[in-house]
């Protein structure tokens, strides 16, 4: 199951952005695969269109929109997520519960607030990489007045 883009494309992207792979980072192909898996899991259900090859397609892209090609912004988002993973091994995949998250507690003059979990798993554990979110925004269905619009 390949990631978006190519190993050479990722290496070229690193150079163009002045990045150097951290010591001991995973292989480029592994990083791209982890990044693509993250993109598909975190954003796939909100991407516009449908997978071009239907349910048998391994990745969320290409889709029935945008000429059936993977947009450059999706490839760049994959490279950004791969770079994040290179610098934060395992950072794209987190599991756990938010039961102990602080939202508010007051002891004498000190006040701490605890977050109340909203389900069995903590949705806040899914990393939000702002540049990835911004790159993918044009390819996500929009929510307007409580209705999803393609």
Residue 42's pLDDT is 93
pLDDT at residue number 142:
81
- pLDDT tens digit sequence for 47-78: 999 999 999 999 999 999 999 999 999 999 99
Give SS3 for 101: coil
**136 Cβ contact partners less than 8 Å away, ≥ 6 residues apart:** 39, 43, 47, 73, 74, 77
> What integer pLDDT is reported at residue 88 of this predicted model?
94
pTM over 0.75: yes
What per-residue confidence (pLDDT) applies to 65? 95
What pLDDT, in 10s, does the model give residues 95-147?
665 555 555 555 666 666 655 555 544 445 678 899 999 999 999 998 665 55
d(CA 122, CA 117): 7
């Amino acid at each position: 199951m390949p990631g978006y883009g190519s190993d050479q494309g990722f290496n070229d992207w690193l150079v163009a952005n002045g990045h150097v792979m951290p010591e001991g980072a995973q292989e480029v192909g592994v990083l791209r695969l982890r990044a693509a898996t993250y993109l598909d899991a975190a954003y796939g259900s909100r991407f516009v269109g449908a997978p071009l090859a239907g349910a048998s397609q391994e990745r969320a892209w290409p889709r029935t929109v945008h000429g059936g090609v993977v947009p450059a912004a999706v490839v760049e988002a994959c490279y950004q997520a791969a770079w994040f993973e290179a610098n934060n091994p395992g950072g794209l995949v987190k599991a756990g519960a938010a039961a102990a998250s602080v939202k508010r507690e007051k002891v004498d003059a000190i006040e701490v607030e605890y977050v109340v979990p909203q389900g069995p798993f903590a949705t806040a554990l899914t990393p939000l990489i702002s540049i990835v979110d911004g790159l993918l925004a044009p390819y996500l269905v929009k929510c307007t007045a409580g209705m999803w619009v393609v």
